[in-house]
Amino acid sequence: MTGFATTQIRAGARPPVPPNPAVVPIYQTAAYEFESWEAARDIFALRRQGNLYSRTGNPTQSVLEQRIAALDGGVAALAVASGQAAVAIALLALAKSGEHIVAARQLYGGTLDLLTDTFADFGIEVTLVDQGDLDAWRRAIRPRTRALFAETIGNPTATVLDVRGVADIAHAAGVPFVVDNTVATPALLRPVEHGADVAVYSATKYLGGHGGSLGGLIVDLGTFDFGAAPGRWPQFTEPYPRVGDVVLWERFGRDGSAFLVYAKTKLAHDLGPALSPFNAHQLLLGIETLDLRIARQTASAEAIARALDEHPAVSRVHHPSVAGSPHAELARRYLPRGASAVFSFDLAAGPEAVPRFVDALEHFTLAANIGDARSLVIHPASTTHSHLRDGDLALAGFSRSTVRLSIGLEDVADLIGDLTRALALVPGRAGPDAPPAAPIPVAVGAATTTEEH
């Protein structure tokens, strides 16, 4: 007989995990029991594979990692708590204090904050370039550059990256090319087919697809040879004191992803952005319908972009599928299966018309997220990009009149109907065939001068 306290912890045999659940179970545990002293030592020394502690891995997470690696054609993946953590860890594994990164100016706002503010605090220098200007990428590279970074599809304006063009520049300089493939997902674009070396994801968006869980993924595409210039990459090519002075590049190389072994045992371990097993499970279920959702959402987005492009209250649609888009050619080359369900458009009536339009929408949730099953709307200049000045907005390719949409899975006719109804409330382009402009409410204190509510 054991005492009460011992009993409350130890009583009841742990049921063996049944070998045949049809859906990947949630392994909700922080730690794992080692079968012996020797097993514990060998697992810590990376001499034997095994679960150690859920900050660096969990069986549910491991299925998610293998699944995204397979979808992307990579050698291995690492799952972390958010897309933001994935970007940070992927880049910190390549560049440290005193080193340098070249990145696209058209990045997600959170990533720009990370690169230009927090990385500056860390002593990592970042040069931002216009992603479409290949000469600017070339010129920005220095002897201490350790990575090039860009998004395959950028938001809010659905920019399309010349992945191969930038990859070739990175490789000529002997540095890896890391892409954020969040908006495209492997259903639209597989970065490995165009020369990228590492792909990162906010799984919070399309991979999960339900907006219910945060998560981030780093995929090693297994293409970059860190052994070619060992002096540049001491983290992979010199003895690694954390695990018995093994040289990660010799032990794991490209196929065993020395890059992710380092990212996991040092950065995920030290900084601690672990993905919860519950979130890993939700993201796995989401991925099971990825291609169906992406096909529906991109087709709806193209239909909506066309409808907006013809509407007199809209002055410009930022989607590669509309006539005259500067990204049409790159979209044909890189996105034959459809180009982005996230895009934006400009209200002809200018920024004053935005609040009325946005608040009139019924089938679009006003939210900062993208890639959800429900359609979403946001006004970047007053929210996600509110710290940018007019000049920075212009450099980023949009203005205070720009409204961003993330198209969900609803009936496309309902979405177009909703947008058309809300657009009827704002003035259109001036011209003989423009519809009569509805008055815009003029704020007087808390009240407005219009009658309708």
- What residues line the site for ligand PLP (CB under 6 A)? 82-84, 87, 108, 110-111, 151, 180, 182-183, 202, 204-205, 214, 216, 370
Task: List C-alpha distances in Å: 425 to 227, 305, 359, 451.
Answer: 61, 19, 11, 13
Return d(Cα 261, Cα 45) in angstroms, integer.
12
CB of 390 to ligand PLP, least distance (A): 23
Chain centroid, CA 266 distance in Å: 22
Residue number, 111 or 223, with CB nearest to ligand PLP? 111
Could you tell me the smallest distance in angstroms from the CB atom of residue 180 to ligand PLP?
Answer: 5
Cβ-closest residue to ligand PLP?
A: 83
Q: Which is nearer to ligand PLP, 155 or 300 (CB)?
A: 155
A 10 A CB-CB count for 305 gives: 26
Query: How many whole angstroms separate alpha carbon 244 and alpha carbon 108?
Result: 39
In the complex, what is the shortest distance from the CB of residue 84 to ligand PLP, in angstroms, rounded to a whole number?
3
Secondary structure of the chain as H, E, C letters: CCCHHHHHHHCCCCCCCCCCCCCCCCCCCCECCCCCHHHHHHHHCCCCCCCCECCCCCHHHHHHHHHHHHHHCCCEEEEECCHHHHHHHHHHCCCCCCCEEEEECCCCHHHHHHHHHHHHHCCCEEEEECCCCHHHHHHHCCCCEEEEEEECEECCCCEECCHHHHHHHHHHCCCCEEEECCCCHHHHCCHHHHCCCEEEEECCCCCCCCCCCCCEEEEECCCCCCCCCHHHCHHHHCEEHHHCCEEHHHHCCCCCCHHHHHHHHHHHHHHCCCCCHHHHHHHHHHHCCHHHHHHHHHHHHHHHHHHHHCCCCEEEEECCCCCCCCCHHHHHHHCCCCCCCEEEEEECCCHHHHHHHHHHCCCCEECCCCCCCCCEEECHHHCCCCCCCHHHHHHHCCCCCEEEEECCCCCHHHHHHHHHHHHCCCCCCCCCCCCCCCCCCCEECCEECCCCC
CB nearer to ligand PLP: give 111 or 300: 111
Q: Give 87 or 141: the residue with its C-beta nearer to ligand PLP.
A: 87
**Cβ 225 to ligand PLP shortest distance, Å:** 27
Q: How far is the CB of 199 from ligand PLP (least distance, A)?
A: 12
Give the pair of three-digit tokens for residue 249. 């590049």
Shortest spacing between CB 184 and ligand PLP, in angstroms = 10
CB-nearer residue toward ligand PLP: 132 or 156: 156
Q: How far is the CB of 342 from ligand PLP (least distance, A)?
A: 8
Q: Which CB atom, from 60 or from 213, has the smaller least distance to ligand PLP?
A: 213
Minimal distance in Å, beta carbon 28 to ligand PLP?
Answer: 21
Cα dihedral 321→131→292→289 (10° resolution): -160
The residue (of 205 and 264) whose beta carbon lies closer to ligand PLP is: 205
Q: Which is nearer to ligand PLP, 82 or 131 (CB)?
A: 82
In whole angstroms, how close is the CB of 82 to ligand PLP at the nearest point? 3
Written as six digits, the tokens of 346 are: 């400009």
Shortest separation between residue 403's beta carbon and ligand PLP, angstroms: 17
Whole-number minimum distance, CB 164 to ligand PLP, in Å?
20
**Cβ count near 190 (within 10 Å):** 20
CB of 38 to ligand PLP, least distance (A): 39
C-beta closer to ligand PLP: residue 110 or 227: 110
Q: Which amino acid is at 444?
A: V
